[in-house]
Amino acid sequence: MTEIKSLTGIRGIAAIWVVIFHYFSTHFLNLSTNHGGFFNYTYNIVKNGYLAVDLFFLLSAIVLSLSYQKKFGNYVDFNEFKTYLFKRIARIYPLYFFTIVLTFFYQKNLSISHVITHLTFTEVFFNTYFETLNFPIWSLATEMFVYLIFPFVFYLIFNLNRNFNIVLAIISVLALYFIQYSESHYINLHFMRYETVAPKDNLDINWGNLAYVRTVLVYAIGLIAYKYSFTFPRIVLWAFISIFIVSVVLDLNDVITVIGMICIPAVIVKINFLKSFLS
């Protein structure tokens, strides 16, 4: 399968969704509270903007699969793994390093724990990113962890038969559902103690160990989607997209929304006008 240029268009839409979520949620909440009706649905769309991060994870899984299927589909060669990892770090780390250093200049009460954890992509596990100005960077930290295991997970999924992948997909979806209602854990470096964060009853999990679990599960779902969704008939693809739209607009459970977004990349490829529009 060749490069899907239209994925860039979807990433752009997802980025706008995240920005609106972060900066305009209060505005849309006021409209919903004061006027109701149509504005209730627009607020639902805006307040679910954190799920655009899961869409990013899903798209990243597809892109990595496209790039490395030939290299990791049959076996994981150690030299290939080193080259792959070097490319991943070289792609992310320069800009990542620049942004965290820039924010450190404006950071009050900057500590050595902030510096070390951010430089080593461990700020989510130790929850130090929440104390800095650059807290949206959490997803890069969890993705870096996924990059370490991606070749092995991809090899496993690519070589499992359909039945095993169905089971794995069901387990991943169920796990994604249950982490919404589970406590996340992290190590507080300031007091050197193990702490917990109460569940938010949704997938807006960006702290502690469950942030990594969330990322890994969505990536796994994305890898399975890469293997099968591009062969689905159009009616099935549209059914998934309909689930996604209805779930966001009606503010259904986040896992339903994630299930609905599974086929977004395949829809872009198989529906010509969308492919042209987003390319």
CB-neighbour burial class of residue 247 (10 A; exposed 0-12, middle 13-18, buried 19+): buried
Mean pLDDT of 219-247: 94
Tokens encoding 66: 């496209």
Q: What is the pLDDT of residues 38-54, one digit of tens each?
A: 999 999 999 999 999 99
Determine the average pLDDT of the residues in 241-258. 97
Sequence ranges of the domains in the chain = 58-278
Q: Quick check: 224 pLDDT over 70? A: yes
pLDDT band per the 50, 70, 90 thresholds, residue 272: low
Q: Is the pLDDT of residue 166 over 90?
A: yes
**At residue 210, what are phi and psi to the nearest 5 degrees?**
-70, -20
Is pTM beyond 0.85? Reply is: yes
Determine what percent of the chain is predicted with pLDDT higher than 90: 71
Condensed to tens digits (0 to 9), the pLDDT of residues 14-42 reads 999 999 999 999 999 999 999 999 999 99
Reduced 3-state DSSP string for the chain? CCCCCHHHHHHHHHHHHHHHHHHHHHHHHHHHHHHCCHHHHHHHHHHCHHHHHHHHHHHHHHHHHHHHHHHHCCCCCHHHHHHHHHHHHHHHHHHHHHHHHHHHHCCCCCCHHHHHHHHCCCCCCCCCHHHCCCHHHHHHHHHHHHHHHHHHHHHHHHHCCHHHHHHHHHHHHHHHHHHCCCCEEEEECCCCEEEEECCCCCCCCCCHHHHHHHHHHHHHHHHHHHHHHHHCCHHHHHHHHHHHHHHHHHCCCHHHHHHHHCCHHHHHHHCHHHHHHHC
